[in-house]
């Protein structure tokens, strides 16, 4: 049955800048398969090397994030819209101490100070 | 290349300073012209959804917030251009953690904040093979 996938702006370069892609599918998984069959270059950004949906890729059916409920097995009905929505994460990494640990660090011994 | 008004650029820096020693984060909305140049027209500061003890080196914007921003943008003829965050006491260079959680095309703006003062602001874009970030020119408009 016809359903519509809503494509985030970051991935529209793989769908000819189309914000929506209509596919024939009975489940969310089938819809994603139809999407990646039509636009294979999008696949590496949705799935990791182990063929699992990347952790930051979420799937919304209406207002509900179904990623951790029905996931790709979620059945679809005629006219459903599934939005692909990234959650965004990042940060400077693990280098350097936490600010709190800096606050409780003892002052350096005089020999290691600036002297003077 | 991305374009951003000087005042929005100042706002980015100020947010990094306000959030220090934690990381700030937010969503950039704007337009894309026929040549693919993106112009940032709105900044939407977001709550850093990481646990309080992790915010000094991590940030997360929840999918619900991204979905709301996507709808807001679409309703106003805009697009999500990218995201910004700060690196307290670290350079404005993406980490491996940034890369693992990134998508291509988006502009990732990083503000380096040293001892509470905003320093460099850099813009990056994920390579399409996901192997690295590429520096992107950021043009500040008066």
Query: With an 8 Å Cβ cutoff, are A92 and B80 in contact?
Result: no
Burial (CB < 10 A; 0-12, 13-18, 19+), residue A19, is middle
pLDDT (tens digit per residue) in A33-51: 999 999 999 999 999 989 9
Confirm whether the ipTM is greater than 0.95.
Answer: no
pTM for the full predicted model: 0.85
Q: Domains in chain A, start-ordered, CATH in brackets?
A: 2-86 (3.10.20.30)
Residue B64: the pLDDT is 93
pLDDT (tens digit per residue) in A9-26: 999 989 998 999 999 999
CB interface of A with B, residues 71-100, below 8 Å = 83, 85-96, 98-100
Query: With an 8 Å Cβ cutoff, are A9 and B106 in contact?
Result: yes
The pair of structure tokens assigned to A6 is 């809503």
Q: Within 10 A of B51 (CB to CB), how many other CB atoms are there?
A: 9
In tens digits, chain B (142 residues) has pLDDT values of: 899 999 999 999 999 999 999 999 999 999 999 888 999 999 999 988 888 888 888 888 999 999 999 999 999 999 999 999 999 999 999 988 888 889 999 999 999 999 999 999 999 999 988 999 999 999 999 8
Our CA-based measurement puts residue A95 at a distance from the nearest CA of chain B, in whole angstroms, of: 9
pLDDT higher than threshold 80 for residue A101? no
Strand partners, A81: A4
Say yes or no: A10 contacts chain B, CB-CB below 8 A: yes
Each domain of chain B, given as residue ranges in start order, spans 2-141
Q: Count how many pairs of residues, chain A against chain B, have C-beta atoms within 8 Å.
A: 109
Of B56, B66, B73, the CB nearest to A86: B66
Residue B79: the pLDDT is 94
pLDDT (tens digit per residue) in A57-97: 999 998 899 988 999 999 999 999 999 999 888 877 544 44
DSSP string, B22-85: SPPEEEEEEEE-TT--EEEEEEEEE---S-GGGTTT-EEE-HHHHHHHHHHHHHTT-EEEEEEE
Superfamily holding B2-141: Cytidine Deaminase, domain 2 (3.40.140.10)
The pair of structure tokens assigned to B89 is 């006491």
Residue A34: the pLDDT is 97
């Amino acid at each position: 049955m016809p359903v519509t996938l809503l494509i985030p702006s970051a991935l529209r370069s793989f769908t000819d800048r189309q914000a929506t892609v209509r596919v024939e599918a009975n489940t969310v998984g089938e819809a994603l398969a139809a999407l990646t069959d039509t636009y294979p270059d999008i696949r590496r950004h949705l799935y990791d090397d182990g063929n699992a949906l990347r952790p930051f890729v979420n799937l919304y059916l209406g207002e509900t994030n179904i990623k951790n409920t029905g996931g790709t097995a979620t059945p679809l009905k005629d006219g459903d819209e599934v939005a692909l929505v990234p959650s965004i994460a990042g940060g400077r990494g693990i280098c350097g101490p936490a600010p709190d640990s800096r606050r409780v660090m003892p002052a350096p011994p005089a020999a290691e100070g600036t002297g003077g | 290349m991305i374009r951003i008004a000087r005042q929005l650029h100042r706002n980015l820096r100020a947010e990094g300073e306000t959030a220090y020693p934690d990381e700030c984060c937010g969503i950039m909305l704007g337009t894309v012209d026929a040549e693919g140049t993106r112009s940032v027209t709105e900044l939407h500061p977001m709550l850093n959804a990481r646990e309080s003890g992790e915010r000094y080196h991590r940030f997360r914007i929840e999918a619900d917030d991204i979905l709301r921003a996507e709808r807001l943008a679409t309703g106003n003829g805009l697009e999500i251009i990218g995201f910004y965050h700060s690196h307290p006491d670290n350079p404005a260079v993406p980490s491996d953690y940034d890369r693992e959680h990134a998508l291509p095309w988006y502009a990732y703006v990083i503000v380096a904040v040293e001892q509470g003062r905003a320093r460099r602001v850099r813009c990056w874009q994920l390579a399409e093979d996901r192997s690295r970030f590429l520096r992107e020119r950021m043009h500040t408009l008066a």
